[in-house]
Amino acid sequence: MEGSTASLPLSSRSNRKRRSAIMAGAVLHQSVYRRGIGLLGGTFDPIHNGHLAVAQGALRELRLARVDFVPAPCPWQKDVLTPITRRIEMIQAAIETEPLMGVNLCEALRPGPTYTIDTLRELRNALGSSLPLVLIVGADQWENFHTWKSWHRLLEFAHIALCNRSCRKPLARADVEAWAGPRKVAPHRLTDSPCGGITEFSIPPHEANSSRIRRVFSTKNRYEALRELEPWLPVRVAALISRHNIYSLA
């Protein structure tokens, strides 16, 4: 989500279409036990079972109504070669059978540079002041959190949930940790309010890695790649990659 640049043609899109795209990711499953929307940003190039495990962990530990994947068009901290439209297609394939997961296109539809603070502000304005929003952050993102634009203002619009996939506790820079400390709450209490809290949840380690997936598909024949990556890729995503030769060098 942080620091990305849109690559979709936007001149023909109206404000109504943009708002519809935002709201489409906000359809809630009404339940007294589940509340709020989790936001999981990234390049998802491609989405893999590790990403799904994070979303499932957030749904379980934070008692969220849903988790939305927020694909970034072209983050400044990563080299992305796969078109955003294709990555969105892979996300949609991955979550086809996940009723509590969705995809939010607010960053994909925004022209110019995209930053998390802008995304959260836009979603808060669109969805109202009472709905809990939870930004899901990985350990590596938390360690670089001080580089994010207006990081100290993110809690004005959402909560932050740190996902730990290893035995090592994620640590940010000292000033970020000092800022976070007084704002920490228990996972099950996070969505008692719309924003302002920080919590942590853990999931079992997962070896899936997007860079390696791309490398395997680009260096091995299709059948060898599919066999090797079977534990890492949702079946529908693997089929999509294979059908369109998304990561082939040919």
Q: Which domains does the chain have, with CATH numbers?
A: 4-207 (3.40.50.620)
Tell me the two tokens of residue 99: 């009723």
The pLDDT of residue 49 is above 50? yes
pLDDT band for 210, please (50, 70, 90 cuts).
very high
Strands (E), the chain: 4-5, 37-42, 66-71, 101-103, 113-114, 133-138, 159-164, 198-202
The pLDDT of residue 76 is above 70? no
The pLDDT of residue 207 is above 60? yes
pLDDT band for 34, please (50, 70, 90 cuts).
confident
Q: What is the average per-residue pLDDT within 155-165?
A: 97
Cβ neighbourhood burial of 175 (10 Å; 0-12, 13-18, 19+): exposed
DSSP 8-state secondary structure symbol assigned to residue 156 = G
Q: What is the C-alpha separation between 125 and 99, in angstroms, rounded? A: 25
User: Which amino acid is located at 192 in the chain?
Assistant: D
Task: List phi, psi (to 5°) of 87.
Answer: -65, -35
